[in-house]
Amino acid sequence: MHSTLYNVNKSLPLERTIHTYTSPATIPIEYQALLLPDAGVYFRQDAECDMLSQHLLLGPFSVWLHDILAKDNILIRSYTPLPVFTLQFMFEDSLAVPKAGYTLDERECSGFYLFPGQLHRIPMAAEKKVFSFHINIQPVALADLVRKYPQLEVIMHGVHPRVSTRINSRPYHVNAVCDKLIQQVMTVKYSGPAGKAFMERCVTDILLNFATQHADALQPFVYTSMLNADSYHNLFNYLSDHPHKDHSLPYLAYMYDIPLEEIDHGFRQHFAISIGDYVNMVKMMMVWHLVVENKSTLEDIMRVTGFRDVEEMRGRLVEWYGYDVFGR
């Protein structure tokens, strides 16, 4: 039984079938800076809480960003009207889910399969502020994604079609890759097809990263990976800050004093992605931003980023993002 301290119920749909968005012009000025260019918005404000929900439809993904400020003790009643697989990333603070027996901790992520009609009651104390980032995928859409990315099949294991369940038995830390991708979605400045194509690719990479964490969850963390944790994070920052450069593993191993035979495996253990795949990801992000923002010539971008010619660069962008930004 829930304490009467939390008898103020606030509904929070985790998905919707009908969208009647709030006009952005009616959103209070203190929340205006949070609004994303292409997001549909829902906002409620009363004596007990403020709730800002933003919704992005990105290909097979229904992405939700929820900012909740409790002014009084409230009981959030979350639900979904249709079955969805969802990844939930928690920021700013933590929330306990007593009936389910777990806590949604700050900077942790979990996967869930949610079946409609099953309410989740979450007490939230006064003066608490939380932000959560959700990626929802309907089962049919996830099955289609598995055909393109077979490594995603691990997310569907052990799921009964009519029973809500947690996919990962313990939450995963929001690693630096997922954090970077979520920040990219939240700070994209351009709208329209180019913005949506960019965000859809970011969400795809978040999903792939979660699937890698889930597949590797039972593997022991190598002691030397833990011992060199600071070096791996410095390496991650270096690769993030120099996306235009080509990097050889021997050079990186020497530069950060990590054994060559361990460096790629250790990087994957910390960030759920190989060095080569991460280098390619940040390079594609940089090239995309440069082309869309149109502040440099295509020839200059091509030379800086190491492509043989503009057509090769164009082909790589189309392959990665599924959209020809040159022809917009």
Q: Where are the domains of the chain?
A: 4-173, 219-327
Residue of 276, 270, 288 lying closest to 233 (CA atoms): 270
Q: Which pLDDT score is estimated for 328? A: 65
User: In terms of CATH architecture, what is 4-173?
Assistant: Sandwich (2.60)
Are 108 and 90 a contacting pair, CB within 8 Å? yes
Provide the pairing of β-strand 74-79 with 9-13. Answer: parallel
**What are the residue ranges of helices labelled H in the chain?**
29-32, 139-148, 176-187, 192-215, 223-227, 229-241, 249-256, 260-271, 275-293, 298-305, 310-321
User: How many of the other CB atoms lie within 10 Å of CB of 230?
Assistant: 9
pLDDT at position 280, please? 97
pLDDT of residue 1: 41
Q: Which residues contact 141 (CB under 8 A, 6 or more apart)?
A: 60, 61
Cα-Cα-Cα-Cα torsion 254, 256, 259, 264, nearest 10 degrees, comes to -110
- Distance between CA 255 and CA 246 in Å, rounded? 14
Distances (CA, A) of 324 to 235, 244, 269, 321: 32, 21, 34, 8
Are residues 171 and 106 in contact, defined by beta-carbon separation less than 8 angstroms?
A: no
Cα–Cα distance list, 55 to 36, 66, 162 (Å): 9, 9, 25
Strands of the sheet containing 9-13, edge to edge, are 9-13, 74-79, 120-124
Instruction: Determine whether domain 219-327 maps to CATH 1.10.10.60.
Output: yes
pLDDT of residue 279: 97
Give one word for 116, left, alpha or beta, with left for phi > 0 and alpha for psi -120 to 50: beta
**What confidence score (pLDDT) does residue 5 get?**
74
Q: Are strands 129-137 and 84-91 parallel, antiparallel or unpaired?
A: antiparallel
pLDDT of residue 321: 98
Q: Flag residues of the chain having pLDDT under 50.
A: 1-2
For residue range 14-67, what is the model confidence (pLDDT) as tens digits? 999 999 999 999 999 999 999 999 999 999 999 999 999 999 999 999 999 999
By residue count, the chain amounts to 328
- Predicted local confidence at residue 4, as pLDDT: 58
The pTM (predicted TM-score) of the whole model is 0.96
DSSP per residue, 266-293: HHHHHHSS-HHHHHHHHHHHHHHHHHHH
What angle separates helix 298-305 from helix 275-293, to the nearest 10 degrees?
160
